[in-house]
């Protein structure tokens, strides 16, 4: 650490923790230490080698908004591969979007982008008008239908519900808007969608290799004070820091210290959804790279049903072609989800030879509509830096590596200014 440098502790070495650590070391001489409770970095990214194939159980794609991440991938020697255009109900995605009602897709796209920009701008105020807060809390489908955006609704069935980002009938339009921006619309229509050939896990490991990461660090307690913050680990060791970054779920962070009022309010306002990814083998299922099923992404979606699947490779020893199948878990257990999956695959004229591995993720922190109406978003901005603590991750931007990284790019200059 150079003279004048400060000590920064980051709780969590998932994409949020690692990307903010990288930005801080690029832009300052402060020393950065990451505390990660698991034995590996990368959080919800998990690449597993299965014979010749690399299977992504968690994070899979980059789109145009993953600019900074793709830059780092190139620097770290990761090969970025474009995926084959995917289909929905067996037809190209663009044809599916065009089957929605109303004006041509390009016109709807422009109307949507303008309405989105106007609302997000209003929400940047520290005291947004109640009408803007009410609009942000409106269920996505209601907001879209009021504006006759039937084709954008079809697009959101795939890019919002189909990716586990909420049922359009209930999810506040704010969530859909944070993810569905111009970059996403262009990436979807021009198929600018990529995957890292060496896998996301390898990327995060390379990114972390020169960082001070404490794996399997079990933080027992954090004591904040005006003079600094003391992190006490389960083995009794302790270290002091000048700033804290919460890059883990804020409700669990709050359990490690005396939470502020904002930390309590944000923790209470969030409901975590889930996402289940199951690796199966089959000899007689689809041959495309990715298939989506629209009937399981309709507003009012039922958990458990098969929303999409990705063909990953071939392994005769494991029973044939390998597929990752995606389901919303709801309250189902892992074995119940497998049973439903078998029925869903059979319904599509195929059969499962083997169920190889299943991951059920804590996914998509959805804000309660009522909390949005009461100004949650402004509060989440205003609490940055309170008691020397900064916040990032899926809760504070949106559940995607691109949104998290963009959030961090905006946060780091403020954090560095506060540390001067």
Ligand X SMILES: Cc1cc2nc3c(=O)[nH]c(=O)nc-3n(C[C@H](O)[C@H](O)[C@H](O)COP(=O)(O)OP(=O)(O)OC[C@H]3O[C@@H](n4cnc5c(N)ncnc54)[C@H](O)[C@@H]3O)c2cc1C
388 neighbors 7 (Cβ within 8 angstroms): no
Tell me: does residue 281 bind ligand X (CB under 6 A): no
Considering only residues 278, 282, 296, 400, which one is a binding residue for ligand X as defined by CB under 6 A?
Answer: 400
Q: Which is nearer to ligand X, 69 or 115 (CB)?
A: 69
Q: How far is the CB of 252 from ligand X (least distance, A)?
A: 5
36 makes contact with ligand X (CB under 6 A): yes
Taking CB under 6 A as the rule, which mask of x and - marks residues 155-194 in contact with ligand X? Answer: ----------------------------------------
Q: Is the dihedral of CA 60, 62, 68, 74 positive or negative?
A: positive
304 binds ligand X (CB under 6 A): no
Task: Let me know: does 132 contact 123? Beta carbons within 8 Å.
Answer: yes
Site string for ligand X, 122-141 (x = CB under 6 A): --------------------
Count the residues of the shown chain that bind ligand X, applying the rule CB under 6 A: 33
- Whether residue 277 contacts residue 326, with contact meaning beta carbons closer than 8 Å, is answered with yes
- Would you count residue 394 as binding ligand X (CB under 6 A)? yes
How many Å apart are CA 408 and CA 403, to the nearest integer? Answer: 9
Neighbours of 190 (CB within 10 A): 11
Q: H helices within 255-374, ranges in order?
A: 261-269, 334-347, 369-373
At closest approach, how far in Å is the CB of 308 from ligand X?
11
Candidates 8, 9, 12, 311; binder of ligand X (CB under 6 A) is 12
Which residue do the tokens 């998509």 mark? Answer: 364
Question: Rounded to whole angstroms, how far apart are CA atoms 372 and 381?
Answer: 13
DSSP letter (8 states) at residue 268? H
Candidates 42-50, 115-123, 203-211, 259-267 — which segment interacts with ligand X by CB under 6 A? Answer: 42-50
Asked if 273 touches ligand X (CB under 6 A), the answer is no
How many CB atoms neighbour CB 294 within 10 A?
17
- Binding segment (CB under 6 A) for ligand X, from list 7-15, 110-118, 330-338, 347-355: 7-15
Alpha carbons 291 and 90: distance in angstroms, whole number: 7
Smallest distance, Å, CB 51 to ligand X? 21
Least Å distance, CB 108 to ligand X, is: 24
Binding residues for ligand X restricted to 228-257, rule: CB under 6 A? 247-248, 252
Candidate list 144, 325, 352, 402; residue touching ligand X; CB under 6 A: 402
Q: Which residue has the tokens 């954008």?
A: 152
Which ranges of 29-138 does DSSP label H, i.e. alpha helix? 67-75, 93-98, 105-123, 130-137
Running DSSP on this structure, what letter comes out for residue 40? Answer: S
Question: Binding residue for ligand X (CB under 6 A) from 8, 9, 10, 14?
Answer: 14
Name the one residue in this structure whose structure tokens are 């978003």: 377
User: 44 to 73, contacts with ligand X by CB under 6 A?
Assistant: 44-45, 58-61
Those residues whose C-beta lies under 8 Å from the C-beta of residue 321, and which sit 6 or more positions away, are: 281, 282, 283, 285, 311, 313, 314
Minimum CB separation from ligand X for residue 392, in Å? 7
In the list 100, 166, 299, 393, the residue contacting ligand X (rule: CB under 6 A) is 393
- Give the side-chain half-sphere CA count within 13 A for 148: 4
Q: Is residue 303 a contact point for ligand X (CB under 6 A)? A: no
Beta strands at 228-233 and 219-225: parallel, antiparallel or unpaired = antiparallel
Asked if 307 touches ligand X (CB under 6 A), the answer is: no
CB 403 within 8 A of CB 15: no
| Paired residues of 233 in beta bridges | 219
One residue of 9, 10, 16, 415 binding ligand X per CB under 6 A: 16
Give burial (CB, 10 Å; 0-12/13-18/19+) of 301: buried
Burial of residue 357, with CB atoms counted within 10 A of its CB: 0-12 exposed, 13-18 middle, 19 or more buried: middle
- State in angstroms the smallest separation of the CB of 404 from ligand X: 6
192-231 mask for ligand X (x: CB under 6 A)? ---------------------------x------------
Q: By CB under 6 A, which span of 41-49, 131-139, 339-347, 383-391 interacts with ligand X?
A: 41-49
CA distance 155 to 105: 10
399 is an interface residue for ligand X by CB under 6 A: yes
Q: Is 363 in the site for ligand X (CB under 6 A)?
A: yes
Q: What's the closest the beta carbon of residue 263 comes to ligand X, in angstroms? A: 14
Paired residues of 81 in beta bridges: 195
Among 97, 143, 194, 361, binds ligand X (CB under 6 A): 361
Binding site for ligand X (CB under 6 A): 11-17, 35-38, 43-45, 58-61, 219, 247-248, 252, 275, 277, 361, 363, 393-394, 399-402, 404
């Amino acid at each position: 650490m150079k003279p004048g440098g400060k000590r920064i502790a980051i709780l969590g070495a998932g994409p949020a923790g690692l990307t903010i650590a990288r930005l801080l070391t690029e832009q300052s001489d402060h020393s950065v230490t990451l505390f990660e409770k698991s034995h590996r970095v990368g959080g919800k990214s998990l690449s597993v080698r299965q014979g010749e194939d690399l299977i992504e159980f968690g994070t899979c794609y980059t789109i145009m908004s993953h600019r900074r991440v793709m830059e780092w991938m190139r620097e770290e020697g990761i090969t970025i591969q474009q995926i084959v255009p995917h289909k929905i109900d067996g037809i190209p995605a663009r044809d599916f979007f065009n089957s929605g009602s109303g004006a041509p897709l390009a016109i709807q796209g422009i109307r949507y982008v303008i309405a989105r920009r106007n609302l997000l701008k209003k929400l940047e105020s520290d005291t947004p008008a109640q009408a803007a807060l009410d609009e942000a809390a409106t269920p996505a489908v209601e907001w879209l239908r009021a504006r006759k955006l039937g084709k954008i609704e079809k697009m959101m069935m795939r890019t919002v519900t189909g990716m586990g980002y909420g049922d359009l009938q209930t999810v506040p339009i704010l969530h859909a808007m944070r993810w569905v921006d111009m970059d996403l619309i262009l990436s979807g229509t021009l198929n600018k969608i990529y995957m890292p050939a060496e896998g996301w896990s390898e990327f995060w490991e390379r990114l972390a290799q020169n960082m001070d990461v404490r794996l399997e660090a079990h933080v027992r307690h954090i004591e904040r004070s005006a003079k600094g913050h003391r992190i006490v680990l389960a083995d009794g060791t302790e270290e002091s820091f000048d700033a804290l970054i919460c890059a883990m779920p804020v409700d669990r962070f709050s359990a490690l210290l005396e939470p502020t009022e904002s930390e309590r309010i944000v923790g209470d306002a969030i409901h975590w959804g889930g996402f289940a990814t199951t690796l199966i083998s089959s000899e007689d299922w689809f041959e495309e790279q990715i298939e989506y099923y629209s009937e399981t992404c309709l507003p009012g979606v039922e958990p458990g049903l098969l929303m999409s699947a990705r063909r990953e490779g071939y392994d005769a020893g494991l029973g044939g072609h390998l597929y990752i199948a995606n389901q919303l878990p709801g309250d189902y257990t892992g074995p119940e989800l497998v049973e439903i999956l078998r029925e869903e695959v059979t319904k599509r004229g195929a059969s499962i030879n083997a169920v190889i591995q299943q991951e059920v993720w804590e996914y998509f922190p959805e804000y309660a509509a009522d909390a949005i109406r009461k100004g949650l978003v402004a509060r989440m901005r205003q609490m940055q830096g309170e008691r020397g603590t900064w916040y990032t991750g899926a809760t504070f931007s949106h559940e995607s590596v691109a949104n998290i990284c963009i959030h961090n790019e905006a946060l780091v200059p403020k954090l560095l200014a506060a540390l001067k």
